[in-house]
């Protein structure tokens, strides 16, 4: 019987690093969003999401190491990251696990994703096994096994291959 606690392997990390062919400079993204010049109206966001407020929370976690089951800045996993970002920026209480978060809100098409939508991936053979937050310009924020809390390109071969679903929490 497979041990469900051992969900990740070094092979998953190696695949992520090897096929993450559309690198995002997280510092560049941070400087673009981390300014008083950001206009919430210039970014297409889900209803009830203040872009700058959410980005400030996301940016405060950049560089946090990945730790399966972790829930703090000393180490956290993907669902703890999305849970904390939503709680701190919108006061919305997401469930703790990725498998519970995928049940919240409504499914939307990839073409209709907006800032603040949750995006889900199957990176382990179990769907869903990874979650992130879409931030526009084909980028998303997440707690990656390989890189910790980072910003990645949705256009990366790795993430394109493993994407399964996008969900919107607020009704627009």
Per the CB < 8 A criterion, the answer to whether 119 and 113 are in contact is yes
Catalytic entry in 142, 162, 167, 168: 142
31: its two tokens: 């400087």
- Look up 78 and say whether it is catalytic: yes
Active-site residue identified among 24, 26, 78, 94: 78
Supply the DSSP string of 57-80, one letter for each residue.
Answer: HHHHHTTPPB-TT-EETTEE-HHH
The catalytic residue among 83, 114, 130, 167 is: 130
Give the other-Cβ count within 10 Å of 101's Cβ. 22
162 is catalytic: no
Residue 49 host element (H or E): none
Catalytic residues: 78, 130, 142
């Amino acid at each position: 019987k497979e041990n469900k606690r051992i969900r990740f392997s070094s092979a998953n990390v190696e695949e992520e690093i090897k096929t993450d062919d559309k690198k995002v400079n997280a510092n560049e993204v941070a400087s673009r969003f981390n300014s008083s010049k950001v206009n919430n109206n210039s970014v297409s966001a889900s209803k009830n999401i203040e872009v700058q407020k959410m980005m400030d929370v996301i940016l405060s976690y950049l560089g946090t190491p990945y730790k399966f089951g972790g829930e703090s800045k000393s180490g956290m996993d993907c669902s703890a990251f999305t849970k904390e970002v939503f709680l701190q920026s919108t006061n919305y209480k997401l469930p703790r696990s990725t498998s519970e978060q995928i049940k919240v809100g409504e499914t939307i098409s990839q073409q209709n994703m907006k800032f603040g939508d949750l995006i889900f991936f199957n990176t382990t053979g179990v769907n869903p096994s990874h979650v992130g937050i879409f931030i526009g310009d084909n980028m998303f924020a997440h707690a990656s096994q390989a890189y910790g809390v980072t910003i990645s390109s949705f256009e990366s071969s790795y993430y394109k291959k493993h994407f399964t679903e996008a969900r919107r929490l607020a009704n627009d």
